[in-house]
């Protein structure tokens, strides 16, 4: 996966497991004996009580690092490369450190994170840190909180990791292309005290970043971008030119009034004529978990009596309804924060921009489907089965006398 990733190697060593992970499914913590707790009750009472002041950031967001505080430094480079979704379907995408999704960043609550973003692509980018209570200037919104980072430019993000929980990061420039076509990754902030781990002891956890892609749209836009790259490069030579542009090329305006005036004077806005010349609606045809569609998704491994934690991230543009066969599970965190009380369910809605942590308890040995119940999204280019689907697989299913056909079906 991203074992050759440039970032985080030092941090991984120093922090003993924290830092940048593989970014893909299966953050296994090795083989451990299953937990001895009875599976129908949490090990200890749930202590995430309601606190009306609970959304106040623990640290002042506009703080600067002080002497003795830990700063984790990461290098993140944006390039254009190719990514294979399923055999035979390889598409050009933007990539964070040559990986889709980008590498998983994992740090402790309260530590500082410095990310040196280097843009080695012919487009503009930023990184938005989704769910993080940071200083406004670090929020990564192009023309909202910062100038977008142009080709060959760099930008340094610095923020303190808060609040704890499951979050993600993504480019905020033209997200329908940049975020969907690659620039998204998971961001895990480990809490000082984890009520989830206390109540449901676990050794293995998995991150599932859910997303989808319209490969026809991406192909058209990427082709157009490459032809525009010469102009982009010319603009990059002058920051003043970028600031002074009248918006006819990029659609940037100093105010609403200037936009209104430009349209009156004959400017055709992109919602009437996209950069490609045709403003076409986006129709996703591939639906992915960590960048892969079924049957190439990674299974979740479990053993009878074991708890596993699954971090679901709505990293795309569509809601999904993630359903587990043969089990209920516990919804324990939403958007990073522990719920006031865990909720028992078998299907969970994961909307774009949200994260949900669930605990699956190994109570029913077998080989179980785990997939979105939005049927369009269980296809590959319209063919079922495919898309946003994986399996919960018991390593010890056979010890319990369970048998099932070991077949990969891509049409049924
Ligand atoms: Cu971008």
Residue 64, number of CB atoms within 10 A of its CB:
10
Whole-angstrom Cα Rg for the chain: 22
Q: Which two tokens stand for residue 32?
A: 């451990």
Where do the structural domains in the chain lie, given as residue ranges?
1-31+67-191, 193-214+282-412, 216-264
What spacing in Å lies between the alpha carbon of 127 and ligand 1's midpoint?
Answer: 8
What spacing in Å lies between the alpha carbon of 170 and ligand 1's midpoint?
Answer: 8
Q: What is the structure's pLDDT at 277?
A: 56
- Peptide bond preceding 387: is omega within 30 degrees of 0, i.e. cis? no
Q: What is the structure's pLDDT at 41?
A: 58
240 pLDDT more than 90: no
pLDDT in tens, 381-411: 999 999 999 999 999 999 999 998 888 888 7
> 40-49, 131-140, 275-284, 397-406: which has the highest mean pLDDT?
131-140
pLDDT in tens, 138-184: 999 988 999 999 888 999 999 999 999 999 999 998 888 898 999 99
What spacing in Å lies between the alpha carbon of 64 and ligand 1's midpoint?
Answer: 27
What percent of the chain has pLDDT above 90?
64
Q: Which two tokens stand for residue 305?
A: 């009596």
Please tell me which residue, 67 or 232, carries the higher pLDDT value: 67
Give me the phi and psi of 197, to 5 degrees please.
-65, -35
CATH 2.60.40.420 assigned to domain 193-214+282-412? The reply is yes
What spacing in Å lies between the alpha carbon of 183 and ligand 1's midpoint?
Answer: 7
Q: What is the structure's pLDDT at 409?
A: 83
The model carries a pTM of: 0.85
Sorted by sequence, the CB contacts under 8 Å of residue 14 that are 6+ apart come out as: none
Residue 141, number of CB atoms within 10 A of its CB:
13
CA dihedral for 231, 237, 238, 242, sign (positive or negative)? positive
**What are the DSSP calls for 241-285, one per residue?**
HHHH--STTT---SSHHHHHHHHHTT---TTTS-TTSS-PPP---
**What are the DSSP calls for 8-38, one per residue?**
SHHHHHHHTS-EE--SSS-B-----PPP-S-
The Cβ-side half-sphere exposure at 245, using a 13 Å CA radius, reads 17
pLDDT in tens, 14-45: 333 355 544 333 333 333 444 444 555 566 77
Q: What is the structure's pLDDT at 51?
A: 75
What spacing in Å lies between the alpha carbon of 80 and ligand 1's midpoint?
Answer: 11
What spacing in Å lies between the alpha carbon of 34 and ligand 1's midpoint?
Answer: 43
What spacing in Å lies between the alpha carbon of 168 and ligand 1's midpoint?
Answer: 15
| Angle 389-390-396 from CA coordinates, rounded to 5° | 155
- Domain 1-31+67-191 has what CATH class? mainly beta
What spacing in Å lies between the alpha carbon of 237 and ligand 1's midpoint?
Answer: 19
DSSP letter assigned to residue 352: T
Sorted by sequence, the CB contacts under 8 Å of residue 189 that are 6+ apart come out as: 106, 107, 108, 109, 161, 162, 163, 164, 165, 167, 336
Q: What is the structure's pLDDT at 16?
A: 34
Mean pLDDT within 94-114: 97
1-31+67-191 and 193-214+282-412 share one CATH topology? yes
38, 39, 241, 333, 346 from 199: Cα distances, Å: 12, 11, 57, 13, 19
What spacing in Å lies between the alpha carbon of 105 and ligand 1's midpoint?
Answer: 18
Closest residue by Cα to residue 186 from 67, 313, 308: 313
Is residue 88 packed enough to be buried (19+ CB in 10 Å), middle (13-18) or exposed (0-12)?
exposed
């Amino acid at each position: 996966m991203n074992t050759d990733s440039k970032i985080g190697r030092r941090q991984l060593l120093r922090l003993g497991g924290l830092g940048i992970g593989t970014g893909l499914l299966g953050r296994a913590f090795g083989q451990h004996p299953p937990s001895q707790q009875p599976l129908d009750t949490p090990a200890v009472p749930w202590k995430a009580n309601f606190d009306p002041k609970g959304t106040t950031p623990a640290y002042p967001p506009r703080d600067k690092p002080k002497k003795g505080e830990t700063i984790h430094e990461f290098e993140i480079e944006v390039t254009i490369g190719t990514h294979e979704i399923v055999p035979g379907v390889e598409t050009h995408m933007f990539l964070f450190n040559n990986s889709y999704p980008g590498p998983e960043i994992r740090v402790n609550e309260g530590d500082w994170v410095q990310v040196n973003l280097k843009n080695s692509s012919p487009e503009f980018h930023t990184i938005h840190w989704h769910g993080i209570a940071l200083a406004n200037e670090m929020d990564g919104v192009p023309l909202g909180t910062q100038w977008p980072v142009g080709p060959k430019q760099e930008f340094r993000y610095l923020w303190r990791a808060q609040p704890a929980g499951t979050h993600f990061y993504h480019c905020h420039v033209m997200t329908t292309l940049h975020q969907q076509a690659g620039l998204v990754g998971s961001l895990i902030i480990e809490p000082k005290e984890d009520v989830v781990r206390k109540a449901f002891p676990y050794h293995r956890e998995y991150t599932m970043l859910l997303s989808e892609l319209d490969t026809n749209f991406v192909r058209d836009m990427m082709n157009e971008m490459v032809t525009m790259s010469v102009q982009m490069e010319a603009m990059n030579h002058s920051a003043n030119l970028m600031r002074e542009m009248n918006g006819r090329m990029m659609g940037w305006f100093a105010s609403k009034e200037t936009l209104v005036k430009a349209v009156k004077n004959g400017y055709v806005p992109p919602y009437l004529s996209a950069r490609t010349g045709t403003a076409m609606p986006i129709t996703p045809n591939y639906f992915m978990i960590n960048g892969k569609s079924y049957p190439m998704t990674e299974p979740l491994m479990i053993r009878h009596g074991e708890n596993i934690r699954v971090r679901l991230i709505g990293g795309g543009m569509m809601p999904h309804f993630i359903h587990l066969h043969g089990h209920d599970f516990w919804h324990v965190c939403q958007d990073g924060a522990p719920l006031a009380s865990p909720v028992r369910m078998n299907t969970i809605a994961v909307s774009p921009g949200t994260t949900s942590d669930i605990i699956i308890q190994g109570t029913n040995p077998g080989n179980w489907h785990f997939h979105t119940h939005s049927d369009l999204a269980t296809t590959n280019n319209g063919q079922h089965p495919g898309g946003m689907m994986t399996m919960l697989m018991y390593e010890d299913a056979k010890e319990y006398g369970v048998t099932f056909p070991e077949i990969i079906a891509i049409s049924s």
